[in-house]
Chains A and B, each alone.
Chain A
Amino acid sequence: MIRLEDLTKSYETPQGPVIAVDRVSFEVGSGETCVLLGPSGCGKTTTLRMINRLVAPSAGKIYLAGRDTDTVDPVELRRGIGYVIQQIGLFPNMTVAENIGVVPRLLGWDAARRRRRAEELLALLALPPGAFADRYPSELSGGQAQRVGVARALAVDPPVLLMDEPFAALDPVNREAIQDEFLRMQQKLRKTILFVSHDIDEAVKMADRIAIFNAGRLVQFAAPDEMLAHPADAFVASFVGRDRTLKRLRLTRVREVMTGADDGSGDTNVPAVSADDDLRGVAALFLESDTESLRCIDAAGRVIGIVKRSAVAARLAIDDSR
């Protein structure tokens, strides 16, 4: 869906050329979320901004759905790509509905259709249209404003979304909530998303693939579990942190390590877990008690299997033969 080939950006400065992005190549499949991760100044935002031509590449190619973006007028290109930024950038002179209607208006939709679409998107993002459509951005909280920012990016249902640290300015509680909502929405919409972040936890949570950058180079491009289990080099290992094994717990569901139906070995003195939980809660229970296995229950409370301590350990063990 999105393919970068040897994408490079260099700037001329009085001290000679500075290379901000150095021959970056990767491909993101349709419906996938790829998080561009790295410390500030690593080239991740510049890479993102080259995709919608807010920054002109010095060399290399970008293909969107097989089409070379050099051959498309930048303004036309941007109308077909959703764009969300950390500072949100809602237009203060327009109401929420008008903000969402900006790209539809550029594409010539009539007023009634723009209004319908705005109300539909507000409802999708859990903002009651009756209360929010005619507010101005100055009347929104940070979390509400960023939801509107996301709605605006989705207005003409673009297949691709570019998001530049969209949730970084929100407080932790709000950030978790909006991330969860966004993941739920993405399950339905299946957009192709490029998402810039400097937060490894956010990347692990949101990404199908992580592209980790250092000093303008792409140092590893992998699924989150793969990156946490097998960091490509010392930089990646230190960036993902020494607790990378703990971070992997989030990536595995209980049902993936669950065995058989209850054979009576599940410990009834310890709370049961649900098949759709991730392993963080399971690990906590194993650390709190010396039990060897937990009962796993379905929504109705029936025991449908057990989780063994050894199975969790085996899941997390790093297999060096890979």
Chain B
Amino acid sequence: MTTAALAVRSRLPYWVLLAIALAIAWALVASGLADDILHYRKDIVYLTKQHLFLVAISGSAAIVTGVGIGIWLSRPWMARWADGVIQAVNMLTSIPTLGKLALMMSFLGIGPLPAIVGLWIATLLPIIRNTYEGIRAVPPHVVDAARGMGMGPRAILTRVELPNALFVIFAGVRTAMAVNVGTAPIAFLIGGGGLGELIFTGIDLQQYGMMLAGAIPTALIAVAVDFLFGQAQYWLVPRGVNPLRNV
């Protein structure tokens, strides 16, 4: 199959989304809600920046630390502890994200800091787990061949283990970022700001225009972030180990 055909296949969902988005936009304009929403455009710009700041800081911190911890757990000297740590990580994952944010508030007070830390923890866990599992899934004989040919531990990690685990790591990052973007509006509840301010206030005041002024940009950010990481996964994972590019 040609690369052109593959590209069409992978972009198809985005065309469908675009069609739905246009239909919604048309419905909003037709019903007059669009004017209500645009009434908040200054708030939208300001709060979107705040929202993106929360997502970017907590998300990038989680990717760096999550991949780092995952690699560290996969090292041979950690073999005795790694399973226990992963079990603990799984248990922490099961705490609802709202609960995590509430816990953070009780430790760190209110404001952007507890929100960022809470989002960071919620985002961290799937990344740690997928990095660890992804590296462990690299066949032992491949690593044995690498050692036998004279690769040092660093070369084995960067040229063999990570590239072969990268697809699974990216899957973890995409899951994690979906959680992150999905949770970010709740940051408002502990004083973290962001688009949640429009959503929750709009609900309380039964102002649907205000609510949608928060909800629509939130949805667009979620789609954009997933698109971004989906493209990164498609292009950065080597073709030989990338199921999306192997037909």
**Residue from B145, B155, B166 within 8 A of A85 (CB atoms):** B145
Q: What are the interface flags for B120-147 relative to A under an 8 Å C-beta threshold, 1 for contact and 0 otherwise? A: 0000000000000000000101101111
A136 engages B150 (CB within 8 Å): no
Q: Assess A87 versus B141: contact at CB under 8 Å? Given A79-B149, A103-B149.
A: yes
B171 beta carbon closer than 8 Å to chain A? no
A78 engages B238 (CB within 8 Å): no
Segment 43-79 of A: residues with Cβ below 8 Å from B: 52, 54, 75-79
**Minimum CB–CB distance for A147 against chain B, Å:** 15
The residue of chain B having its C-beta at the shortest distance from the C-beta of A102 within the complex is B149
B84 beta carbon closer than 8 Å to chain A? no
Residues of B within 8 A of A138 (CB): 240, 246
Q: Size class of A's contact patch?
A: 20 to 34
B238 engages A93 (CB within 8 Å): yes
**Minimum CB–CB distance for B147 against chain A, Å:** 6
B147 engages A106 (CB within 8 Å): no
A26 beta carbon closer than 8 Å to chain B? no
Residues of A within 8 A of B164 (CB): 91-93
Q: In whole angstroms, what is the CA distance A162 to B159 when docked?
A: 23
B147 engages A136 (CB within 8 Å): no
A137 beta carbon closer than 8 Å to chain B? yes
**Residue from A88, A93, A103 within 8 A of B241 (CB atoms):** A93
B160 engages A78 (CB within 8 Å): no
Q: Assess A85 versus B240: contact at CB under 8 Å? Given A78-B149, A78-B150.
A: no
Segment 204-247 of B: residues with Cβ below 8 Å from A: 238-241, 246
Residues of A within 8 A of B141 (CB): 85, 87-89
Q: In whole angstroms, what is the CA distance A131 to B100 when docked?
A: 55
Segment 149-202 of B: residues with Cβ below 8 Å from A: 149-152, 155, 159-160, 163-164, 166
B148 beta carbon closer than 8 Å to chain A? yes
Q: In whole angstroms, what is the CA distance A87 to B138 when docked?
A: 13
The residue of chain A having its C-beta at the shortest distance from the C-beta of B238 within the complex is A93
A285 beta carbon closer than 8 Å to chain B? no
**Minimum CB–CB distance for A278 against chain B, Å:** 34
Q: In whole angstroms, what is the CA distance A180 to B163 when docked?
A: 35
A94 beta carbon closer than 8 Å to chain B? yes
Segment 104-158 of A: residues with Cβ below 8 Å from B: 106, 136-138, 152-153
Q: In whole angstroms, what is the CA distance A90 to B164 when docked?
A: 12
> Which of A75, A77, A89 counts the most B-chain CB atoms under 10 A from its CB?
A89
**Minimum CB–CB distance for B164 against chain A, Å:** 5
Residues of B within 8 A of A87 (CB): 139, 141
**Residue from B145, B147, B155, B163 within 8 A of A93 (CB atoms):** B163
Q: How many residues of B contact A (CB 8 A)?
A: 23
Q: In whole angstroms, what is the CA distance A85 to B141 when docked?
A: 8
**Minimum CB–CB distance for A37 against chain B, Å:** 21
Q: In whole angstroms, what is the CA distance A153 to B164 when docked?
A: 21
Residues of B within 8 A of A76 (CB): 150
A95 beta carbon closer than 8 Å to chain B? yes
Residues of A within 8 A of B238 (CB): 93-94
Q: In whole angstroms, what is the CA distance A106 to B155 when docked?
A: 9
A94 engages B240 (CB within 8 Å): yes
A213 beta carbon closer than 8 Å to chain B? no
A54 engages B147 (CB within 8 Å): yes
Residues of A within 8 A of B142 (CB): 89-92
B160 engages A91 (CB within 8 Å): yes
A221 beta carbon closer than 8 Å to chain B? no
A85 engages B150 (CB within 8 Å): no
Q: What are the interface flags for B95-107 relative to A under an 8 Å C-beta threshold, 1 for contact and 0 otherwise? A: 0000000000000
Residues of A within 8 A of B147 (CB): 54, 78
Q: In whole angstroms, what is the CA distance A79 to B142 when docked?
A: 16
**Minimum CB–CB distance for A47 against chain B, Å:** 14
Q: Assess A79 versus B150: contact at CB under 8 Å? Given A85-B141, A93-B238, A138-B240.
A: yes
The residue of chain A having its C-beta at the shortest distance from the C-beta of B152 within the complex is A75
Residues of A within 8 A of B159 (CB): 91, 102
Residues of B within 8 A of A195 (CB): none
The residue of chain B having its C-beta at the shortest distance from the C-beta of A94 within the complex is B240
**Minimum CB–CB distance for A109 against chain B, Å:** 14
Interface pairs A-B: 9 shortest CB-CB: A89-B145, A136-B240, A79-B150, A78-B150, A83-B148, A87-B141, A93-B163, A93-B238, A89-B141
| Sample of 14 A–B contacts (CB below 8 Å) | A52-B148, A76-B150, A78-B148, A80-B150, A85-B144, A89-B139, A90-B145, A91-B146, A91-B160, A93-B166, A93-B241, A95-B240, A103-B149, A106-B151
Given contacts A87-B139, A92-B240, A153-B149, 18 further A-B contacts (CB under 8 A): A54-B147, A76-B150, A79-B150, A83-B145, A85-B148, A89-B139, A89-B142, A89-B145, A91-B145, A91-B146, A91-B160, A91-B163, A93-B164, A94-B163, A103-B150, A106-B151, A138-B240, A138-B246
